Amino acid sequence: MIENQVIIITGASSGLGKALATAFAKQGAKLAICARNEERLYKVEHQLINQGAEVLAVKADVSRREDVDRFISLAEDRFGKVDVLINNASVFGPGPSLLVDYPTEAFQNVLKLNTLSVFLVTKRVLPGMLIRDSGSIINVTSEAGATGFAEWGAYGISKFALEGLTETWADELQKTKIRVNMVDPGEMDTPMHDVAVPDCDYELGSPENRVDVFLYLANATNVHGKRLEAQHFEAKGFGDL
């Protein structure tokens, strides 16, 4: 049952994050959402509240430890617990660029937001989950986290690191009832994809059509340490995982 579960979603002001917040709200979940873009974040918050959802929206840069601590503290104070954490916040960085030409500062910034943030948020949420011995952590990865693509620069490298981080945490938590998984949502029609593939000439998926696997993992107590592809997900097909 997703109803009344407390769901944290980072990077929820647009794209997949917004679609996830909307999907979980429709299921009756309580939401704590954050993003760096305050205007878009509060617009999403108002839309969800108008749909009857209980929502806490906090402007936060999850690559900054002080922002993470404030956001999670406010969520725990408001809702008393965290049932599901979805580490979704990410950036592509500069448009397509060879590594030899990649700006060093941009490389550092992409790794901070796409990888360090997952470490910071998960580390902050985990103590409460461990006390209750319950929870689901879902990290958003990419095909570029499994295969190196020329000109995808720091983004792909950050997702390789995220996949290693996910696998490590899954191994460390295997004797608990906390599940750690990652989802590759596939290529989607989002502003970030416009940066990654500026002259895209093929059909892209919709973020709204890639949320089912996340809803499934919120409740699937028997799925741990897996890498799932959202575009190929069929709930009935995961009974043996």
- Is 219 contained in some domain? yes
Q: Which contacts (CB < 8 Å, 24+ apart) does range 167-176 have? A: 167/225, 169/122, 169/137, 170/224, 170/225, 171/225, 173/224, 174/224, 174/225, 176/130, 176/133
Say what the pLDDT of residue 239 is.
45
The model scores a pTM over 0.85? yes
Q: Which domain covers residue 100, as residue numbers?
A: 6-238
Q: What is the pLDDT of residue 235?
A: 45
Q: What is the pLDDT of residue 241?
A: 45
Q: What is the CATH number of the domain that holds 62?
A: 3.40.50.720
Q: Is residue 1 part of a domain?
A: no
21 part of a folded domain: yes
The answer to whether position 89 is within a domain reads yes
Distance CA 192, CA 241 (A): 31
How confident is the model at residue 189, as a pLDDT?
A: 59
What per-residue confidence (pLDDT) applies to 204?
62
Residue 6 bridge partners (DSSP): 30
Strands of 60-133, DSSP E:
84-87
pLDDT at residue 145, rounded to an integer = 84
Which residues have C-beta within 8 Å of that of residue 147, sequence separation ≥ 6? 156
Q: How far apart are CA 186 and CA 141, in angstroms?
A: 9
Closest CA to 154 of 187, 191, 189, 196: 196
Q: What confidence score (pLDDT) does residue 198 get? A: 67
Q: Is residue 231 part of a domain?
A: yes
Q: What is the number of domains present in the chain?
A: 1
Q: Decide if 102 is inside a domain.
A: yes
Cα–Cα distances in Å, from 135 out to 36, 112, 157, 178? 25, 25, 28, 5
Among this protein's residues, is 155 annotated catalytic?
yes
Query: pLDDT means per 10 residues in the chain (241 residues)?
Result: 94 96 97 97 97 97 98 98 97 90 96 97 98 98 87 92 98 97 82 63 76 95 94 55 45
C-alpha 63/C-alpha 169 separation (Å) is: 19
How many other β-carbons are positioned within 10 Å of the β-carbon of residue 181?
23
User: Does 212 map to a domain?
Assistant: yes
Check 42, 155, 202, 216 and give the catalytic one.
155
Is 34 within a domain? yes
